[in-house]
Amino acid sequence: MQGEPSFPDSLRVQLRVLGALSMREIVTRFGRDQIGFWWLFVEPMILTVGVTVLWSVFHGRTPVPIAAFAVSGYSMVLLWRSTVNSCIWAVASNTALLHHRNVKVLDLFISRILVEVAGSTISFFLLSVVYVFLGLMAPPVDLMNILVGWLALAWFTAGWALCWGAASTYGELVRIAWIPLGYFFFPICGAAFMVDWLPSKLQALALWIPTVHGVEMMRAGIWGSGVRAHYDIWFLLASCVIVTLLGLVLARGAAYRVDSL
Amino acid sequence: MMEFPAPASERDGGRWPRVGSLFTAAVVVPTLVAAAYYAFFSADRYVSESRFLVRNPHPPQATTLIGGLLESTGFSRSLEDTYVVQNYILSRDALAELEENLAVGAAFRKGGRDFLNRFPGLEWEDTFESLYRYYKARVSVTTDTASSVTVLTVSAFTAEDAYRINERLLVMSERLVNQLNRRAREDTMAHAESETQAAEARARAAAQALAAYRNRVSVIDLERQAALQLQEIAKLGDALFSARTLLSQVEALAPRNPQVSALRLRVRDLEREIAAESAKVTGAGGSLASKATEFERLTLEQEYARKQLEAALLALESARDHAQRQMLYLDRVVRPNLPATPIEPRRVRGFLVVVIFSLMLWAMLSLLIYSVREHRS
């Protein structure tokens, strides 16, 4: 056995693998014809616009402008849902790739997470810009809040998707369980309400849900002091560390299971 | 089964990073720093807590059935006004007044060696704005929407400071509520009062005009006076009638009776008298009938002014009642306490949080580094 490669060399190899896997993911999913990889963010954009229209019609009068409310909330839901959906099929549909020496199970997850996070982020960014230009949304008050909130949400989503993706290699049941859970999650994730609107007992419960903190933080950045936002960024970051650690441990187990197949 | 890279001594040296150094950076250093901070630097903080309720004993009448059912509890806890008080407590105005009266800035500086939690702590500069940020971290006001009891907690480096700030904030909030009350009452009452004054003036003017007219034409009550006159005329008429009858009888029986000329004189006198009296009632010039129009007008005006005054007084009364109903009260449910022992910082808890999270961070980072190391060219 030759000497161990240095860490920077390994990192370079891994980055190349991740880049190749991401490109492969985009091309196999969206193809090269028509608008190709643009679908990556056009699809969530269309969904978000649809939700904006629906909520504008059905929510009636809300305490906050509905367009910004829908963009901040639904973009997070899409990020969350598409990343987990993509990760729970990551190993099953790419088993053959694992014959390459440098393609590891974790790489499959990371590449899919990168693709989904990038797609949702571009969609969120473009839609916000378009809405601001159309006058549907006031220019945000504090961009830093939005940025940190979104990045923390993306990190949390990555850890969470890693958990589900890795767990899905343990049995089919996990994939089936995710479907109802994913829908159940939508009303409680913070996308469809603001904590301040809830009675104080529910507020305390809602603040146990990590994503609520991220969405509240983004909305504090969008509207500034016009809304009372309840969030604790440290709680969200601590949750991120916990889910990421759990996901990494599960992924190691998944790697052993897949290798031994 | 996790394989971590072998200890540095077993490998050919100079590779980066070693788990050993990672462990030192991610776990050992934070743990030692936290231990040192909690053991030697962190200062005790005392927390004084009070609870209050902003309520309105006579809520405005509910307009809907559901609203009526909801408010059938006798008094409404007015949440909106609670939020007003909350906003006031966390305002620069409140802080400025506290600073003026209690020197809170100095109180927050008493943290000793606690470089993290004393004022200005981690703030770059020592200004009113940074004091305001610090203040908002030390004072918390939360309202339970179900019971609408508001909890006010103040944390400071001495028990007396925490207590005094809390007490002072309550007094200031009470003053704010009273101000709101006074303002609301003044607004509702001012209009009703000016209305009443106008009506009073008009009633007085009408009464004076009527009295002056009575004096001028020497009439007290037109109707009764006219009736009196007419009675007089009727009496005269009766006398005239009997005089005429007597005259015609005497003339028929004894035409040369000397009484005849006396009777004739009497009839003529009576006729003249009747004509004069009738002229007083209906004739042109100074008769009662000619005075009636002006008199009627003045009486009517006085009547009208009195009605208006009555209505205005009623409105004033109901406005006073309404203002009374809108009164808000700040009830102290729990008075601020003088804390006996410091309950902040929770040292063991804080230390454990640091240890556990640094361990988790380390585990996460080592797994990530390990997964990178799996790749070889």
Please tell me the distance from the alpha carbon of residue B160 to that of residue B165, in angstroms, as a whole number: 8
Within-domain flag for A41: yes
Which residue from B12, B364, B371 is facing A106, i.e. has the nearest CB? Answer: B371
Q: In this predicted complex, what is the ipTM?
A: 0.78
For an interface test with A, the pick among B133, B151, B364 (most A C-beta atoms closer than 10 Å) comes out as B364
Please tell me the distance from the alpha carbon of residue B60 to that of residue B71, in angstroms, as a whole number: 10
Please tell me the distance from the alpha carbon of residue B270 to that of residue B237, in angstroms, as a whole number: 8
Residue B69 pLDDT grade (very low, low, confident, very high; cuts 50, 70, 90)? very low
**At B92, which helix (H) or strand (E)?**
helix B92-102
The listed range with the strongest mean pLDDT (A52-61, A110-119, B100-109, B292-301) is A110-119
DSSP state letter for A197: G
pLDDT at A2 over 60: no
The residue of chain A with its CA nearest to that of B6 is A4
Report helix angle A39-58 to A7-30, nearest 10.
60
Counted domains in chain A = 1
Within-domain flag for A172: yes
Within-domain flag for A208: yes
B173-189 pLDDT, tens digit per residue, is 888 888 888 887 887 78
Residue A173 at interface with chain B, using a CB cutoff of 8 Å: no
Residue B361 at interface with chain A, using a CB cutoff of 8 Å: yes
pLDDT at B285 over 70: no
Residue B59 pLDDT grade (very low, low, confident, very high; cuts 50, 70, 90)? low
Within-domain flag for A58: yes
Residue B2 pLDDT grade (very low, low, confident, very high; cuts 50, 70, 90)? very low
Structure tokens at B347: 């040292």
Q: Which residue is it, tokens 């603001």?
A: A194
Res B228: pLDDT: 84
Domain positions in chain B are: 44-188+326-363, 193-325
Q: Diameter of chain B by CA atoms?
A: 180
Within-domain flag for A2: no
Whether the link from the prior residue into B120 is cis, omega within 30° of 0, is yes
Please tell me the distance from the alpha carbon of residue B3 to that of residue A259, in angstroms, as a whole number: 15
Q: Which domain holds residue A59?
A: 7-260
pLDDT at A157 over 90: yes
A10-56 pLDDT, tens digit per residue, is 888 888 888 888 888 888 887 766 666 777 778 888 888 888 888 77
Residue B17 pLDDT grade (very low, low, confident, very high; cuts 50, 70, 90)? low
pLDDT at B60 over 80: no
Please tell me the distance from the alpha carbon of residue B206 to that of residue B301, in angstroms, as a whole number: 6
Structure tokens at B197: 């004054």
pLDDT at A154 over 90: yes
Res A261: pLDDT: 62
Topology, domain B193-325:
Helix Hairpins (1.10.287)
B322-341 pLDDT, tens digit per residue, is 777 767 778 788 888 888 78
Within-domain flag for A221: yes
B351-376 pLDDT, tens digit per residue, is 898 899 898 888 888 888 888 888 77
B221-252 pLDDT, tens digit per residue, is 777 877 888 888 889 889 889 888 888 888 88
Phi, psi of B317 (to 5 degrees): -60, -45
Please tell me the distance from the alpha carbon of residue A112 to that of residue A89, in angstroms, as a whole number: 10
Which residue from B16, B144, B361 is facing A7, i.e. has the nearest CB? Answer: B16
Within-domain flag for A1: no
Within-domain flag for A11: yes
Comparison of pLDDT for B71 and A90, the residue scoring more: A90
